[in-house]
Chain A
Amino acid sequence: QVQLVESGGGVVQPGRSLRLSCAASGLSLSSYAMHWVRQAPGKGLEWVAVVSYDGGHKYEADSVKGRFTISRDNSKNTLFLQMNSLRPEDAAVYYCARGVDRNFYGMDVWGQGTTVTVAS
């Protein structure tokens, strides 16, 4: 069965760090761009970051630039999101999603999401 499984979410105080992981099963990620997308409670989808298939190119949303870092380990078929200096507005469900191909045009497989709560 093809699936992406996120982990690492939880409750964290403002200013602290958290590292999310996204493990793939039943599919190889090495030929695809990979994204993180988040959704605050009751809100729409917000793109967070993307990494190219080989890790050579990375882009982040302005709202997380300088605080969040996306990375991947193709040998482990896993995607990561290092989140530093967390703010209350970063609270959301975080989804990882596979790109449709090596480009950044769309996302065809999504995980179930992991919840991040930022509160003191």
Chain B
Amino acid sequence: SYELTQPPSVSVSPGQTATITCSGETLGDKYASWYQQKPGQSPVMVIYKDTKRPSGMPERFSGSNSGNTATLTISGTQSLDEAEYYCQAWDGSSVVFGGGTKLTVL
């Protein structure tokens, strides 16, 4: 079965750029999406189809996808961006989520 791998945790200082990776075999041939989830809340989509931002999502969130790696980049990271982030892809017969990355802003 298809698997997506994320680092368990990433730390960033306020105002700096956070980069979260998601690895999977030929992931670049699929569309990647990213979700933000804060404790006790439902997930929120931040990126879909590799690079697209949902309406209302701040421009500091951006995405890319090539080869075996999709990347979520948060520019000018703010304390309110501290959350768990999940990547996701469709492999042709199932949806797959990465294990999640805890982003700490400190």
Contact = CB atoms under 8 A, between A and B. Distances in A.
Interface string B82-106: 0010101010011111111000000
A118 interface: no
Nearest to A6: B42
Interface string A56-100: 000101100000000000000000000000000000000101001
Contact of A47 (B84, B95, B99): B95
A72 to B, nearest CB: 17
Nearest to A108: B45
Interface centre among B45, B93, B99 (most CB of A within 10 A): B45
Q: How large is the interface on A (under 10, 10 to 19, 20 to 34, 35 or more residues)?
A: 20 to 34
Interface residues of B, number: 24
Contact of A107 (B37, B45, B93, B94): B45
A104 B90 CA distance: 6
Contacts of B31: 105-106
Interface centre among A45, A46, A59 (most CB of B within 10 A): A45
B94 A45 contact: no
Contacts of A105: 31, 33, 48-49, 90
A6 B53 CA distance: 26
Given A45-B35, A62-B1, A95-B43, A106 B49 contact: yes
Interface of B: 1, 31, 33, 35, 37, 42-45, 48-49, 54, 84, 86, 88, 90, 93-100
